C-alpha cells in the first residue's frame, strides 16, 4: 500500500469519527464537497465555494444526527468534508487580520468574548458559541464589519475539523472545550437588530421545488423497494432501481444529483462498493434518459 493511500485512509477515518463525535454532542452534520488540486469535487470548473457546499444534492434540511446515516455518507464519500449545521449556535467567522480587528472593536464595545471552542480555518478562525435564542446568518446588526461573518441557526453551517480547506490546509481545532454561552450583551445586540429575521444565506442547495410531489413519493417507494432486495440480487436490484429513478429524473420529477446521491447512499447501506454503485447509477440514468416517467 502506497503512502498516499494510507494517508487518505487515515484522513477518512478521522473525518467519520469527527462526524460521529459531533452527532454525539447533538449537532446535525452533513457531507460537503472536497477541494483538490484540480478544483472542487463537484466538478464544476467555475465553482467558487470549493469544498464548502453540500454533496450529492444533500442540503441543510438533510443534516442528520443519525449515526447510521452519517456512517453511510462517509462510507459513500470517504473524503467528504464535514459540515456542521449551526442549530443553537452562533459562529464568528473571523477572516485574517481585518477580521481580528473588527472583532476587537466589538469586544471593546460589547465586552470581551469568553474562551470557547475554536478552530483554525484557511486564513483565520471560527469561534463557536451557544445561544439562548436562535440567531441566523448575518452581519447586519453589527454594521458590515470587514472580515467578520456570522453563521447561526438551522440555515447556517460551517466546515468542521478535520475538513480540507481549498488552501490545502486542514481546519484544525485550536480549543476543544465545549462551546461557551454567547454573552448576554452580544445576544441582545444581535436580537434587537433582528438577526433572527434577516437570514441572508438562503439554503440554495436543497430547493424543495426541485422535487415534484409525485417525484418525491415515487423516489421513496423505489428506494424502499431497493432496500428489500435479497443479498444475492442487490446488483440487479441496483440496476433496476437506478433505471426507474433515472426515468423520474428524465421526466423532470426529481433532480439528478440528489436522486443519484440518495441511491448511492442506499447502495452503501446494503454494502455495495461506492465506486461501482456510482458507475451503475450513471449508466442507468443515461439509459433511462429516453424513457421519461411522469404522472401524466
Rule CB under 5 A: which residues touch Zn ion? 33, 40, 42, 47
What is the nearest approach in angstroms of Zn ion to the Cβ of residue 50? 5
What is the nearest approach in angstroms of Zn ion to the Cβ of residue 1? 29
Which C-beta is closer to Zn ion: that of 49 or that of 65?
49
What is the nearest approach in angstroms of Zn ion to the Cβ of residue 257? 11
Which C-beta is closer to Zn ion: that of 42 or that of 281?
42
**CA-to-CA distance for 101 and 3, rounded, in angstroms?**
41
Name, in order, each residue with C-beta under 8 angstroms of 232's C-beta and a sequence gap of 6 or more.
none
Please provide the size of the chain in residues: 296
Q: Which long-range contacts (CB under 8 A, 24 or more apart) does 140-145 make?
A: 140/193, 140/194, 140/195, 140/198, 140/200, 141/189, 141/190, 141/192, 141/193, 141/194, 141/195, 142/106, 142/189, 142/190, 142/193, 145/99, 145/102, 145/103, 145/105, 145/106
Which C-beta is closer to Zn ion: that of 40 or that of 284?
40
What is the nearest approach in angstroms of Zn ion to the Cβ of residue 42? 3
Which C-beta is closer to Zn ion: that of 65 or that of 166?
166
**CA-to-CA distance for 291 and 249, rounded, in angstroms?**
10
What is the nearest approach in angstroms of Zn ion to the Cβ of residue 60? 16
**CA-to-CA distance for 110 and 186, rounded, in angstroms?**
6
Which C-beta is closer to Zn ion: that of 55 or that of 75?
55
**CA-to-CA distance for 264 and 76, rounded, in angstroms?**
7
What is the nearest approach in angstroms of Zn ion to the Cβ of residue 35? 8
Which C-beta is closer to Zn ion: that of 50 or that of 182?
50
Task: Please answer whether residues 207 and 54 qualify as being in contact, where contact means their C-beta atoms are separated by less than 8 angstroms.
Answer: no
Amino acid at each position: 500500500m502506497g503512502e498516499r493511500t494510507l494517508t487518505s485512509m487515515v484522513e477518512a477515518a478521522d473525518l467519520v469519527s469527527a462526524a460521529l463525535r459531533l452527532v454525539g454532542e447533538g449537532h446535525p452534520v452533513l457531507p460537503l464537497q472536497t477541494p483538490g488540486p484540480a478544483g472542487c469535487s463537484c466538478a464544476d470548473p467555475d465553482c467558487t465555494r470549493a469544498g464548502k457546499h453540500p454533496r450529492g444534492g444533500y442540503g441543510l434540511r438533510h443534516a442528520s444526527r443519525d449515526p447510521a446515516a452519517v456512517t453511510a455518507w462517509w462510507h459513500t464519500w470517504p473524503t467528504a468534508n464535514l459540515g456542521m449545521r449551526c442549530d443553537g449556535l452562533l459562529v464568528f467567522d473571523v477572516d485574517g487580520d481585518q477580521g481580528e480587528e473588527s472583532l476587537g472593536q466589538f469586544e471593546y464595545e460589547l465586552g470581551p468574548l469568553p474562551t470557547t471552542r475554536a478552530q483554525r480555518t484557511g486564513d483565520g478562525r471560527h469561534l463557536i458559541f451557544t445561544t439562548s435564542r436562535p440567531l441566523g446568518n448575518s452581519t447586519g446588526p453589527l454594521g458590515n464589519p470587514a472580515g467578520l461573518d456570522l453563521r447561526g441557526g438551522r440555515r447556517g453551517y460551517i466546515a468542521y475539523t478535520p475538513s480540507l480547506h481549498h488552501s490545502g490546509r486542514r481546519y484544525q481545532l485550536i480549543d476543544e472545550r465545549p462551546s461557551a454561552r454567547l454573552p448576554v450583551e452580544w445576544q441582545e445586540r444581535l436580537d434587537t437588530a433582528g438577526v433572527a429575521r434577516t437570514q441572508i444565506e438562503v439554503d440554495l442547495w436543497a430547493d424543495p421545488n426541485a422535487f415534484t410531489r409525485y417525484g418525491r413519493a415515487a423516489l421513496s417507494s423505489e428506494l424502499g423497494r431497493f432496500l428489500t432486495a435479497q443479498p444475492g440480487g442487490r446488483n440487479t436490484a441496483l440496476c433496476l432501481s437506478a433505471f426507474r429513478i433515472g426515468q423520474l429524473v428524465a421526466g423532470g420529477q426529481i433532480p439528478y444529483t440528489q436522486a443519484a446521491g440518495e441511491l448511492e447512499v442506499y447502495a452503501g447501506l446494503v454494502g455495495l462498493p461506492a465506486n461501482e454503485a456510482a458507475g451503475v447509477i450513471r449508466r442507468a440514468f443515461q439509459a433511462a434518459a429516453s424513457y421519461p416517467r411522469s404522472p401524466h
